[in-house]
Structure 1
Amino acid sequence: MTAAATDLRLERIEVFVFRAPADPPVQTSFGIMRDRPALLLRAIADDGAEGWGEVWCNFPTVGAEHRARMALTYLPPLACGPQWASPQVCFEALTEKLAVLAIQCGEPGPLAQIVAGLDIALWDLLGRRHGLPVWKLLAPDLAAPAPVPLYASGLNPTAPEKLAAAKRAEGYRAFKLKVGFGAERDEANLAALREVIGPAAPLMVDANQAWDLDEAIAAGRRMARHDLGWLEEPVRADTPLADWARLAREQPLPLAGGENLAGLAAFDAHIGAEGLSIIQPDLGKWGGFSGCLAVGRRTLAQGKRFCPHWLGAGIGLTASFHLKAAVGGPGYVEVDANSNPLRDLLATPVFALEEGAVHLGMKPGLGVQPDLGAAQAFRIPL
């Protein structure tokens, strides 16, 4: 694809906020999500081509509305008008232009997230314009992607075996339980899950930064008998690298994390260090495709596993499929096991699961479209 063919000039950016009830509420060690928010961006070029992106917005409770107003305020003046040679150039320019504001207002996360959502939209736009899927734009030499393995995430601590049984019947073959609710409860839940999914099925756990270092070491040793694929965020994401290394040495489970990292320097530090062996960036939280593609490739180069994180609606989930397909290598994409109408309504057609994996075809861009009419009941006016 020539440079001229990839030039982008945006005419406008539109913002859409949705909220749907969370049934059941999503429980973590640090809080509960009682509804499911979604923040979509539509980027429209001067030739009429459009693309869709999604911004991470699960927390705090008003996070979607707040980020939406930030996106409306800051993205159009910076992104609309100039001619961009590529989404990557736009991503880097906006990141630089917003860097001082991020320091001044103390909100580097939300600003990075709206830039990430726009980056996703620009890659979708470019794919639609040229009739190519995003995975092909990201990996031009890839003739066809391998099936993308998925795992059913978000198994809450209340009767997780029931949800796991339902997801297994749907075709999921790997699962992740939320832990950090007391040793007795965590152990009972793991035993119940193994009864349902069997001894050989991949099973992981996510503590959502629940423990200090000594507690995490004890938990890893205690839970190892359940043959777990990884222990995710057992300690705070900003724990020093030396402590992550100690944690890796003193308990037997592989360590996973990355959804709360931002910037290539932060990812490179963990990719090149002892500690995390599974790297999990969230492309709607930082980086979009332009940042996370590099993270994925550097992860594989160091012999570690690349497993994109996602907990949101359907555009971000589908983008995560394309990211993983382009990077390749062992690992999974996360799919929330709980019901979420916004996951289905905001990315149609809904993905098809076959024996634990999704197959991406040649549909242009992300290959999905939000059904704004069907989702209207969940839309929040700004």
Structure 2
Amino acid sequence: MRVTEIRGHHVGFVPAPAIGNARTMIRRRDFLLLEVVTDTGKSGWGEVFSSPDAAAALIRSRYAQVVIGEAPARYCALWENMVANLGYDRRGPAMMAISALDMALCDLAAQERGVSVAALLGGGLRSEVFAYGSGPFITEGNDPYGHYAEAVERALKEGYRALKPRAGVSPRADGAMLAQMRKLVGPEIGLMVDINQAYTARAAIASARQMEASDLLWIEEPVGPEDIAGYAEVAKAVSTAVAGGEALASAGAFRDVLVAGSMSILQPDLTVCGGYTGFLRIAALAAAFDLPIMPHVFGTIVNHQAALQVSSLLPARRGGGPAPYPYVEVDISDNPLLSLQGAVRPTATGTLEIPDLPGTGLDLDASRLEPWRSETWICR
């Protein structure tokens, strides 16, 4: 099996209404879905959810020539060859481009052997993984949390036993929102919050203290991703676990975080940190520090399927919630690119089945992207 061409599909949609976090309102969601095609007719898929246009340009100008003509089974060597050409862009679109290519190459290497990606990478530890609903989201207006009760009730009916609302409006508002949510869901449902980098360390500590009585599993991205000192300050001041890492793109970045003792839960994103190959290097660091790690995922069905596969490989860690870690994040907003294979819904026990099928278990034909596609390009 050899790579013959790379196809980039630019897709996106307009959320209605716009969904938001404490830092921004998301009025359009754009992605690059990368299809790596082989001489056998098989396709492997990767995704870029941040900086899709910049990553596409780098793939077309720099990385396609590294991959085309090569065997996907050489994914580790190809990853090293691509990383060798990063230059100064070690945590930005270049690594996102490499991430998408690595995801697709591992998908193809597993398909060639007739096994799942988890089996290709050493064998899974579980056949299902606990899922948490990512949402509800902040809306515009005078009452940004006002719709949360309705959204939470809907998520509970869909089977979620853990939820991660967006927070960060103000410490007092955060505390009131979480108190109401805990009262609504009861003591057995896992709750965590995502502040999306919006606070200073001092404000994050004030918010955490307001929310402490609501028994949170973690507080995610309380400050900016490179504010290691701020993360450490928050981690030392509050009893709730501090999580983050979706915006970090290298093992070196996570090393610095771990040495500073600034996170209790690591959340690298496969589309940012170097695909499967980069994620597993970060997972080795997590193991060295005996900390839980789980994939951040907030995009299309491509990264969702990849996150299921990598979740199969991670050792269990008890974090005090309704199930041992790892958990898998599921976007509970109206996301048509997540439901390309049907609605993603947890089982009665709050879990998702991890596909034991060739590759990631993704059955995707590019023609199904047409309603959301703005451009397609091909490298040969």
Q: Taking structure 2 as the reference length, what is the TM-score of the superposition?
A: 0.88
Name the counterpart of 2:167. 179
Cα deviation for residue 350 of structure 1 reads 5.3
- 2:129 alignment counterpart: 148
Name the SS for the 1:353 alignment partner: coil
Alignment of 1:297 with 2:292, yes or no, is: no
Q: CA deviation at 1:225?
A: 1.0
Q: Which residue is equivalent to 1:249?
A: 236
Alignment-derived partner of residue 322 in structure 2: none
Q: Distance in 2 between matches of 1:82 and 1:129?
A: 14
**Comparing 155-164 with 167-176, which one deviates more in the overlay?**
155-164
Specify the code of the residue in structure 1 equivalent to 2:48: V
Q: Which runs of 4+ in 1 moved over 4 A?
A: 82-85, 349-352
1:219 aligns with 2:212: no
| 1:189 has 2:177 as partner | yes
Q: Is the 8 A contact 2:82 2:98 kept in 1?
A: yes
> Percent identity at matched positions?
31
Pair 1:282 & 2:275 matched = no
Q: Name 2:105's counterpart in structure 1.
A: 122
Contact 1:349 1:368 in 2 (8 A): no
The answer to whether the Cα contact below 8 Å between 1:28 and 1:208 also exists between their aligned partners in 2 is yes
Letter in 2 for 1:335: V
Map 1:333-372; keep pairs closer than 5 Å.
Answer: 333-345=328-340, 348=341, 351-354=344-347, 355-372=349-366
**Structure 2 CA distance for partners of 1:129 and 1:83, relative to 1, 3 Å:** closer
Q: Cα RMSD over matched residues?
A: 2.0
Q: Sort the Cα spacing of 1:289 and 1:214 in 2 relative to 1 into closer, same or farther, 3 A.
A: same
1:162 aligns with 2:150: yes
Question: Gaps spanning 5+ residues in structure 1: where?
Answer: 1-7, 58-62
- Are 2:66 and 1:78 equivalent residues in the alignment? yes
Report deviation, 1:316.
0.4
Q: Which deviates further from its counterpart, 13-22 or 266-275?
A: 266-275
Q: Partners in 2 of 1:205 and 1:244 — Cα distance?
A: 15
Query: Deviation at 1:36?
Result: 2.4
User: Do the aligned partners of residues 296 and 89 (structure 1) sit closer, same or farther apart at CA in structure 2, a change above 3 Å counting?
Assistant: same
Aligned residues of 2:171 and 2:208 also touching (Cα < 8 A): no
The one-letter code sitting in structure 2 at the alignment partner of 1:289 is Y
Higher mean displacement: 188-197 or 205-214: 188-197
Q: 1: distance between equivalents of 2:227 and 2:211? A: 21
Which residue identity lines up with residue 139 of structure 1 in the other structure? Answer: G
Query: CA separation in 2, counterparts of 1:69 and 1:154?
Result: 32
1:37 corresponds to 2:30: yes
Contact 1:149 1:357 survives alignment (8 Å): yes
Deviation sequence 1:101-134 (CA, Å, 0-9, x none)? x38xxxx511110110110001111111111011
How many Å apart are 1:269 and its aligned residue?
2.5
Q: Which amino acid aligns with 1:255?
A: V
Q: CA deviation at 1:363?
A: 0.8
How far apart in 1 are the matches of 2:29 and 2:365? 17
Q: 1:66 to 1:274 in 2, by over 3 A?
A: closer
Q: How far off its partner does 1:89 sit?
A: 1.5
Question: Structure 1 residue aligned with 2:7, among 14, 25, 44?
Answer: 14
The question of whether the paired residues in 2 share the 8 Å contact of 1:42 and 1:51 is answered with yes
C-alpha separation between the residues in 1 aligned to 2:130 and 2:365? 26
Secondary structure, in 3 states, of the residue corresponding to 2:165? strand
Q: How much has 1:82 moved relative to structure 2?
A: 4.2
Which blocks of at least 5 consecutive residues in structure 2 are unaligned?
A: 139-144, 317-324
Amino acid of the structure 1 residue aligned with 2:362: V
Q: Which moved more, 1:72-81 or 1:90-99?
A: 72-81
Instruction: Compare the two structures and name the one with the higher helix fraction.
Output: 1
- Deviation at 1:21? 1.9
Equivalent position of 1:87 in the other structure: 75
| Alpha-carbon distance in 2 for matches of 1:361, 1:236 | 35
Q: Which residue of 1 aligns with 2:305?
A: 318
Counterpart of 1:281 in structure 2: which amino acid? Answer: P
* Deviations, residues 256-284 of structure 1 (Å, cap 9, x unaligned): 01111121111123234422010000010
Contact kept in structure 2, 1:26 and 1:154, CA below 8 Å:
no
1:134 maps onto 2:78 in alignment: no
Q: Return the alpha-carbon distance in structure 2 between the equivalents of residues 381 and 244 of structure 1.
A: 39
When residues 290 and 127 of structure 1 are mapped into structure 2, their CA distance, relative to the original with a 3 A threshold, is same
CA distance in 2, matches of 1:160, 1:202: 16
Question: Does residue 1:50 correspond to 2:43, yes or no?
Answer: yes
1:209 equivalent to 2:197? Answer yes
